[in-house]
């Protein structure tokens, strides 16, 4: 099993390049099966989660060519069959559930293993199913599976009780061929949803309003193939911005969209980090050489502060001047990193969904466990500023969502390496 070892204390400098957004690419690969011709995705991030969704589609009969050197993925779904998806693969990644909408739309059938709980919460799928039912699908749940069937999907008006990212995406994909006008209200507004809609529209879909709370989909008869370059990964960018801040360094993050990062930029500025954006170059210079001040944060659906940046921000605030409060409103159990940060010397108290972080002057390296993807990134970041060596274990979580994290950080001066242990 691999570990990542970080030796803290190096000042970082130079440029770091951001990959395309994992959370855009996963639904886009799932949506590729809606076309009647090949789909090509450019600049795809070569990540474990991306390989898993490609394998799920291959098992269903799709022909996928994944070229790691040119970072392109081509999906040919001519031979896709309405068979059960590979259970082991689906269980590996919750986002596999994103194939249900497009399968239902294209083949009128989909049976998937019910996603269980995960480290950050129970993560139900009731809103996805509410949407499918509203479009006319029959849903049966039993023996650990969810089975959806529909001879024909018909447009409808769907109100989401919570702006779920996955449910919004799944319902968009399920409704592209539904006769009439589908309206999704209280839809999630994350940039990755607009990216999915842009991709589907380039195939001939008629989706309006994606990226806002009300999305309108006019059903079309068919979709063609397309070529698409996904948006940059705002969470990877935010993670590296915090790496710059926590090491009191000045670095340039290349490949950003300022609007997508606004909530993170604003909080970093409030904590005393200097930020300079070049829209033309799509870059941000982060200067963390000032003292870092405490700030309060509440995670919210976009455009609020992203839950996927909460753990990394906690690493920074653990070393800030003063007491910060972080309230996690999106997932019910997303403080697993706290006990690991505490082993490094952070002073954090949890009360329900709130964490109270009293900044300390220094933290020290030790062996810590990545309990989920973003928690793992937070521990690497903490390690960059800790005294001595930090060994992060269970890094398969990190590999699900960060392309070559140690290579990228090493390129800007971090003392970080991956090594295998038997
Ligand atoms: C997506 C992202 C994940 C991010 C999350 C919130 C992908 C592949 N993953 O996950 O990185 O952390 O958005 O920004 O894009 N919920 C329900 N019923 C449902 C669906 C969700 O109650 O049917 C709840 C969840 O339990 C959770 C909240 O809604 O508490 C947010 O979940 P959701 O927005 O659906 O997240 P994901 O799409 O799973």
Determine whether the annotation assigns residue 23 to a binding site: yes
> Three-state DSSP class for 275?
strand
Of the listed ranges 120-124, 142-146, 282-286, the one predicted with least confidence: 120-124
Round to whole Å and give the CA distance between 375 and 315: 10
Domain boundary among 228, 260, 279: 228
Q: Which atom of ligand 1 is nearest to the CA of 164?
A: 34
Instruction: Provide, rounded to the nearest whole percent, the portion of the chain with pLDDT above 90.
Output: 91
**Cα(131)–Cα(161) distance, integer angstroms:** 11
Same domain, 240 and 367: yes
Same domain, 28 and 7: no
- Chain position carrying tokens 């919004």: 168
Confidence bin at 5 (pLDDT 50/70/90): very high
Q: Answer whether residue 225 shows pLDDT above 90.
A: yes
How many alpha carbons lie under 13 Å from residue 87 in its C-beta half-sphere? 7
In a shared domain, residues 236 and 354: yes
Q: Is the pLDDT of residue 269 over 70?
A: yes
Is 12 in the same domain as 29? no
CA distances (Å), origin 148, targets 56, 127, 132, 220: 17, 14, 8, 21
At residue 240's C-alpha, the angle toward residues 235 and 246, to 5°, is: 125
Could you tell me the two tokens for 252?
């340039």
Instruction: Name the residue among 400, 389, 376 with its Cα closest to residue 5.
Output: 389
Distance between CA atoms of 372 and 93, rounded to whole angstroms? 12
pLDDT at 271 over 60: yes
287 has a pLDDT exceeding 90:
yes
Of the candidates 176, 208, 228, which is a domain's last residue? 228
* H-helix or E-strand spanning residue 419: strand 415-420
Domain boundary among 228, 254, 285: 228
The answer to whether 269 is a known ligand-binding residue is no
User: Could you list the residue range(s) of the whole structural domain that residue 142 is in?
Assistant: 22-228
Give the mean model confidence (pLDDT) for residues 372-378: 96
- Please state, in angstroms and rounded to a whole number, the distance separating the CA atoms of residues 365 and 263: 30
125-142 pLDDT, tens per residue? 999 999 999 999 999 999
- Do 191 and 276 fall into the same domain? no
Q: Residue 150: what pLDDT? A: 96
**pLDDT, position 254:** 98
- Contact at 8 Å (CB) between 63 and 79? yes
Q: Do residue 329 and residue 396 come from a single domain?
A: yes
What pLDDT sits at residue 333?
84
Q: What is the total count of domains within the chain? A: 2
Ligand 1 atom at minimal distance to the Cα of residue 121: 26
Residue 117 has pLDDT above 60, yes or no: no
Residues 159 and 249 in one domain: no
Average pLDDT estimate for 3-19: 97
Q: What's the whole-number mean pLDDT along residues 239-245?
A: 98
For residue 264, count other CB atoms closer than 10 A to its CB.
Answer: 24
Residue 353 scores a pLDDT above 80: yes
Pairing, β 297-298 against β 323-327: parallel
How would residue 114 be classed by pLDDT, with cut points 50, 70 and 90? confident
How far, in Å, from the CA of 164 to the mean position of ligand 1?
Answer: 5
For the residues 199-215, what does the mean pLDDT come to? Answer: 98
Helices marked H in 63-210: 87-92, 100-107, 126-134, 165-175, 191-202
Distance from C-alpha of 6 to C-alpha of 364, rounded to nearest angstrom: 11
What the block records as the tokens of 313 is 């921000």
176 and 292 within one domain: no
Q: Which atom of ligand 1 is nearest to the CA of 125?
A: 23
Token pair for 195:
């990216």
* Cα–Cα dist 307/144, whole Å: 28
Are 250 and 193 in a shared domain?
Answer: no
What residues flank ligand 1, with Cβ below 6 Å?
A: 23, 26, 95, 121, 123-128, 162, 164-167, 188, 307-308, 330-331
Total Cβ atoms within 10 A of residue 313: 28
Q: Indicate if 240 and 147 belong to the same structural domain.
A: no
Centre of ligand 1 from the C-alpha of residue 386, in Å: 32
Residue 121: pLDDT band (50, 70, 90) is low
Integer Cα distance of 131 and 308 in angstroms: 25
Q: Quick one: 405 and 259 in the same domain?
A: yes
Please check the confidence at residue 105 and state whether its pLDDT lies above 80. yes
Which residue is closest in CA terms to ligand 1's atom 13? 165
Does position 307 have pLDDT exceeding 90, yes or no?
Answer: yes
Residues 252 and 362 in one domain: yes
Query: What is the per-residue pLDDT for 119?
Result: 65
For this structure, is 78 an active site residue? no
Cα(388) to ligand 1 centroid in Å equals 36
User: Is 262 annotated among the ligand-binding residues?
Assistant: no
Task: Characterize the bridge pairing of strands 283-287 and 323-327.
Answer: unpaired
The CATH number of whichever domain residue 356 belongs to comes to: 3.65.10.10
Residues of the chain with pLDDT > 70, as a percent, come to 98
pLDDT at 157: 98
């Amino acid at each position: 099993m691999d570990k990542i070892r970080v030796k803290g204390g190096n000042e970082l400098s130079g440029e770091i390049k951001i990959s395309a957004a994992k959370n855009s690419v996963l639904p886009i690969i799932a949506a590729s099966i809606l076309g009647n011709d090949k789909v090509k995705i450019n600049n795809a991030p070569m990540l474990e989660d991306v390989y898993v969704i490609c394998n799920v589609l291959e098992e269903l009969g799709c022909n996928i060519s994944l070229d790691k050197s040119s970072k392109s993925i081509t999906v040919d779904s001519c031979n896709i069959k309405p068979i059960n998806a590979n259970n082991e693969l689906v269980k590996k990644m919750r986002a596999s559930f994103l194939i249900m909408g497009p399968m239902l739309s294209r083949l009128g059938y989909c049976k998937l293993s019910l996603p269980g709980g995960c480290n950050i919460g129970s993560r139900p799928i009731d809103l996805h199913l509410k949407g499918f039912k509203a479009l006319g699908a029959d849903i049966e749940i039993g023996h650990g599976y969810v089975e959806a069937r529909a001879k024909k999907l018909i447009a409808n008006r769907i109100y989401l009780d919570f702006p779920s990212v996955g449910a919004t995406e799944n319902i968009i994909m399920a409704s592209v061929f539904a006769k009439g006008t589908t309206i999704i209200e209280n839809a999630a507004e994350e940039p990755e949803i607009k990216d999915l809609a842009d991709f589907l529209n380039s195939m001939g879909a008629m989706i309006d309003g994606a990226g806002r709370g009300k999305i309108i989909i006019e059903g079309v008869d068919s979709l063609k193939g397309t070529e698409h370059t996904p948006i940059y990964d705002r969470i990877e960018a935010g993670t590296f911005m915090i790496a710059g801040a926590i090491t009191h360094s000045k670095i340039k993050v290349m490949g950003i969209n300022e609007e997508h990062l606004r909530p993170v930029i604003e909080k970093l500025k409030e904590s005393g980090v200097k930020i300079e954006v070049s829209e033309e170059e799509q870059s941000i210079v982060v200067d963390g050489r000032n003292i870092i001040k405490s700030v309060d944060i509440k995670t919210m659906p976009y455009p609020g502060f992203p839950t996927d940046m909460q753990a990394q921000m906690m690493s920074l605030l653990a070393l800030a001047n003063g007491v910060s409060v972080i309230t996690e409103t999106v997932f019910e159990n997303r403080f697993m990193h706290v006990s690991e940060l505490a082993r490094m010397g952070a002073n954090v108290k949890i009360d329900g969904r709130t964490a109270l972080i009293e900044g300390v002057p220094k933290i020290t390296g030790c062996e810590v466990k990545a309990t989920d993807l973003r928690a793992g990134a937070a521990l690497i970041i903490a390690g960059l500023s800790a005294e001595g060596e930090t060994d992060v274990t269970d890094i398969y979580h990190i590999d699900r969502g960060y392309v070559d994290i140690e290579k990228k950080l090493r390129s800007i001066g971090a003392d970080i390496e991956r090594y295998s242990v038997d």
